Amino acid sequence: MLSLAALSLRLRASGCQGSRRSIATVISGNETSKLVRDRLKQEVDQMRSQFSGFRPSLVVLQVGDRDDSNLYISTKLKAAAQIGIDAKHVLRSIMSVNENPSVHGLIVQLPLDSVNRIDAELVTNSVNPEKDVDGLSCINAGKLSRGDLNDCFIPCTPNGCMELIRQTGVSVAGKHAVVIGRSKIVGAPMHDLLLWNHATVTTCHSKTPDLPEQVGRADILVVGAGRAEMVRGDWLKEGAVVIDCGINHVSDETKASGKRVVGDVHYSSANQRAGFITPVPGGVGPMTVAMLMENTVTSARRFLLKNQSQR
Ligand code: NAP
Ligand code: LUD
């Protein structure tokens, strides 16, 4: 199969974009996530026939009733059903799920939506690290930061970004990668993943002076800042791989809903300069869901192996 990189080179070489500057190749999260989900479905089918009806099981715990969480959770439940993962949506205690041997994955959807302030750190750290398919507990985060990538659960959004970078065919080793954001769910684990895939990594945040200068050095740029269309096309290094995690709702009178979703990257200027770029929607979002399914299947596989060796 022709990789995205080869395809992009061919398009450029054949000059099929006319005399205009070549436009970045779109890295589709919708398509890549479908490939991942199809592969997982096959694996789960195989588990089921080999272990008489066994199914990987995921619990999504929600506190409150935020519209965005409701939407993300329903996407996760649909993806799970399609793959054959038995997923439950609960509003109960973490401990009973931790102790239930028939559950292989447990996530606590963030942010927690409650009248009384709840310490999210305390809650994510209460999840049994062996079931922490969101990779947010400090045990899994610590392993990732030390480079023990095969012995931990990697947070779904950065893991999905890595998968999209792989799709381009551009190798990460030796490249200069820039991450904007240092949150526990996106920026910090993204930094670790790029580092242990042998990139030289710069992580930027709200106190970084001269963001455009830092961005201009990036062969690979991952943005998770939560600032609508902040990164402009003219900041980018020509040919860069641009991965946009941002999900921002901006008002748009032309839409029936009165709003639309944009990323943290100004797409129409960035795609004139980037080599590869993810759209929003249809980029990182669907990959987050696919990677959650992957971590759940991995956890179920580990569970099966452990039980087999104990027999
Ligand atoms: P967050 O917890 O608010 O963190 C944002 C990070 O960006 C912080 O580290 C902040 O710096 C940094 N930042 C904010 N403004 C900046 C600026 N002007 N210049 C440089 N850095 C700046 O957000 P998050 O949870 O990481 O999410 C980030 C974005 O990704 C949001 O749009 C969110 O909706 C989206 N997201 C998408 C997915 C997905 O699946 N696609 C998953 C998770 C999140 P400080 O640390 O200094 O405050
Ligand atoms: N908390 C997440 N909170 C929010 N977009 C997601 C997400 C699907 N513990 C925990 O699921 O991994 C998490 N673990 N997150 N998020 C964001 C974050 C969490 C974001 C986007 C999507 C999950 C998604 O499917 C689609 C797209 O970008 O194409 C549709 C977007 C739309 O609004 O139509």
pLDDT for 175 equals 98
Inter-residue contact 270 to 234 (CB < 8 Å): no
Q: Active site includes 76?
A: yes
Asked if residue 180 has its Cβ within 6 Å of ligand 1, the reply is yes
CA distance 273 to 242: 10
Instruction: Give CA torsion, residues 8, 9, 12, 17, to 10 deg.
Output: -20
Q: What is the largest CA-CA distance in the chain?
A: 67
- Spacing, Cα 184 to ligand 2 middle (Å): 15
Q: For residue range 169-194, what is the model confidence (pLDDT) as tens digits?
A: 999 999 999 999 999 999 999 999 99
Residue ranges of the alpha helices (H) in the chain? 4-13, 29-50, 67-83, 94-99, 120-124, 138-145, 156-168, 187-196, 211-215, 267-270, 284-310
The ranges assigned to domains in the chain are 4-27+156-284, 55-128
CA distance 40 to 83: 6
Inter-residue contact 86 to 48 (CB < 8 Å): no
Residue of 245, 287, 293, 295 best suited for mutating to test ligand 1, as the one with most atoms within 8 Å of CB = 245
Q: What's the pTM value of the predicted model, to 2 decimals?
A: 0.92
At 281, phi and psi to the nearest 5? -75, 180
**Is it true that 4-27+156-284 and 55-128 share their CATH fold?**
yes
Contacts of 310 (CB under 8 A, 6+ apart): none
Asked if residue 285 has its Cβ within 6 Å of ligand 1, the reply is yes
> Tokens at residue 274, please?
């980037």
The one-digit pLDDT tens for each residue of the chain (311 residues) are: 445 655 554 444 444 444 456 799 999 999 999 999 999 999 999 999 999 999 999 999 998 889 999 999 999 999 999 999 999 887 657 888 999 999 999 999 999 888 888 889 989 999 999 999 999 999 999 999 999 999 999 999 999 999 999 999 999 999 999 999 999 999 999 999 999 999 999 999 999 999 999 999 999 999 999 999 999 999 999 999 999 999 999 999 999 999 999 999 999 999 999 999 999 999 999 999 999 999 999 999 999 998 887 76
Inter-residue contact 55 to 308 (CB < 8 Å): no
pLDDT for 64 equals 83
Q: For residue range 216-228, what is the model confidence (pLDDT) as tens digits?
A: 999 999 999 999 9
> Tokens at residue 67, please?
């519209």
Which superfamily is assigned to 4-27+156-284 in CATH?
A: NAD(P)-binding Rossmann-like Domain (3.40.50.720)
Catalytic residue among 34, 76, 143, 237: 76
CA distance 34 to 30: 6
pLDDT for 297 equals 98
Inter-residue contact 90 to 137 (CB < 8 Å): no
Contacts of 26 (CB under 8 A, 6+ apart): 271, 276, 277, 278, 279
Task: Give the ligand 2 atom nearest the CA of 280.
Answer: 28
pLDDT for 124 equals 94
> Tokens at residue 45, please?
């089918």
CATH topology assigned to domain 55-128: Rossmann fold (3.40.50)
pLDDT for 15 equals 40
Burial class (CB in 10 A: 0-12, 13-18, 19+), 129: middle
- Spacing, Cα 207 to ligand 1 middle (Å): 13
SS3 100: coil
Inter-residue contact 120 to 110 (CB < 8 Å): yes
Contacts of 33 (CB under 8 A, 6+ apart): 160, 286, 287, 289, 290
Asked if residue 156 has its Cβ within 6 Å of ligand 2, the reply is yes
What DSSP assignment string belongs to 190-214? HHHHHHHTT-EEEEE-TT-S-HHHH
